Amino acid sequence: MITEKAERVLENYRLCDHCLGRLFAKLGKGTNEERGRAIRFVLNMERSAKGLPPINGPEKCELCGNVFEEIPRLVGKMKEASDGIEFDTFLVGSRFPEEVREREQAIWAKFGIDTAEPINREFNRELGKAFGIATGKDTAQNPDVVFIVEPYSGKIELQINPLYVYGRYRKLVRGIPQTPLPDFEDSVASIICRAFSKASLGKCIFKGAGREDVDVRMLGNGRPFIVEIKRPKRRRLDLDAIAKEINSSGKVEALNLSFVSPKEAEKVLTKNHRKEYLAIVLVEDGVTPEEAKEVARKLSGLEIHQRTPWRVRKARTDKVRVKRVHEAHAKWIDEKHFELRLVTDGGLYIKELVSGDRGRTKPSVSDLLGRPAWCERLDVLNILDD
């Protein structure tokens, strides 16, 4: 049946061994070229027994135009395109002209062939094997780079997949934003990205798991963040050396740097963390030690209804968020100040929890005291994973 069908095809189309074998790609093992050569050999034996002339391979394949002969040249062009790029794994994709794919499908339909595979699939596989042998690189489902090849023009498009690095940062000083803002020389993001861009020669994008205000420090175990490095020329990064460079700023420290997958990075950024804060509360009308302790007692376990704060209403959706204060502890400092240590749901605005924000946060420390209170200083002590 195979040789009969192959004979009918070859009587109508002059096909190379690759294109002949590919018609029966789902049958048996081996490469399509080997399969095609074997089919042609058996077919010509049968034709010889019948006194018929052989059907030899054509000088130029009517379907592919001998494109598989271009593989050595294309391997060279792929090496040129990736020169200076550090990578260990790769994949190959190709763009074949529409007329080639239509011609192939017309043959399938005309002869009722349901055992074939598309030309681009074979071409990608064979070119990938040749490139791997020439360079010692391996193919992978999630590769470092992807080569998109136009077989006939020889054009090579190189896609360099991004790197993702997880870490936690501590912001040791007040007065720097998390991301760049006008009138600020530095930011957490710029200090971190400078080191990563220098090491990778790629473009760095910083993504924090939440943020703190410009005047708030981030201490303790640090805030989780992800660095996405687009089109890195270097991938084998020394994360310890990068952390050392970041830490030398004296403003920001990077901890626990490690490479992660895109899915792991997304999980870090979407996870809702509880947070531990230390706030210095100012009460101009005065506060006693007993009142400070009573505020903390009432806050513990309290559900807070917080409308988007007045100060960020233009940048955030205006809605009421329901958050909880899980723990609260107070320490009296003087007649006008006390220290408030809190563990709360992520996304609860602490400054507004203290002031009440013109009634947009209820209840607030001001409500519980019965007189105005303000957050004079604030630090994030820890981001709690559990």
Annotated binding-site ranges for substrate: 277, 349
Cβ neighbors of 313 (< 8 A, separation 6 or more) are none
Which stretches of 273-386 are DSSP H helices?
Answer: 289-299, 350-355, 365-369
CA atoms within 13 A on the CB side of 245: 16
Residue 60 burial (10 A CB sphere; 0-12, 13-18, 19+) = exposed
- The three-state secondary structure class of 368 is helix
- Give the distance from CA 111 to its chain's centroid: 45
Give catalytic status of residue 183 as yes or no: no
Nearest to 1 by CA among 153, 111, 140, 144: 111
- Give the distance from CA 102 to its chain's centroid: 36
Q: How far apart are the two ends of the chain, measured CA to CA in Å?
A: 65
Residue 133 burial (10 A CB sphere; 0-12, 13-18, 19+) = exposed
Q: Which amino acid type is present at position 259? A: F
Query: What gap in Å lies between CA 99 and CA 120, rounded to an integer?
Result: 13
Query: What gap in Å lies between CA 328 and CA 350, rounded to an integer?
Result: 12
Task: From the candidates 83, 138, 144, 213, give the one annotated as an active-site residue.
Answer: 213
Q: Are the CB atoms for 206 and 189 separated by under 8 Å?
A: yes
**Helical (H) or strand (E) element with 279:** strand 274-282
Active site residues: 213
